[in-house]
Amino acid sequence: MPEPETGPLSGRRAQAARNDTRILDAAREVFLADPDAPVSAVATRAGVGISALYRRHPSKQDLLRALAADGLARYIADLEEALAAEAPPWDAYVACLHRVVEGGGQALAQRLAGTFVPTPELSRLAERATRLADTLLDRVRESGDLRDDVSGADIVLLETVMLVDLPGADRGAALRYRYLTLLLQALHNPVEGPLPGVPARQEDLVARWRGRPGG
């Protein structure tokens, strides 16, 4: 029976895994602030050489796809946890949105929309996330706690909350929590009056992934 891998090989693999985590974490911060930032800014933020970054992600497009996939995977996990929760639908929904805001992955995935060509796998992840989000929203709506005149696409407002970033140790976390609470109060029944206009459509959000004008 072969011996478990130890020594330099496993050490190099462990270092590569650590570098990959650092690269994705750094890319998340850099591109959330500026989707057009160069890859070199990610390497600098991660504290790795540009060659180490390119070995893992041969192009900026590859790196952006990896980030989008990571953000969608995190979002799906948050939605699945909410749907499996034994708490009342509104409480599970609130807890889910807090996790989404704290993670920031979904905000980045949407901010990157149109900056790269999605793969079929990314499209499948996005479709799965949409189905789960619609299921959760329907469950909350049926409970009577969610106002009737909002759509799942209207929750794009959550992106605005997630993009709050300030200097300081918590990088605006307290303010993001404040604005999320304000948003949740606006979504919760009873409400003071109907909203003007029509709800956002899912098709409008999907259209953002087709590329930006001039991109």
Residue bearing the bigger pLDDT, 210 or 122? 122
Residue for token digits 């800014």?
Answer: 41
pLDDT of residue 7: 52
| pLDDT in the model for residue 209 | 64
Give yes or no for residue 51 having a pLDDT over 60: yes
The phi, psi pair for 146, rounded to 5°, reads: -95, 135
The alpha carbon of residue 114 and the mean position of all alpha carbons in its chain are separated, in whole angstroms, by 15
* Average pLDDT for the chain: 84
Whether residue 2 has pLDDT greater than 90: no
pLDDT over 60 (residue 144)? yes
Nearest to 162 by CA among 102, 206, 74, 96: 102
Q: What is the pLDDT of residue 133?
A: 92
- Beta-carbon contacts of 190 under 8 Å, excluding residues fewer than 6 positions away, are none
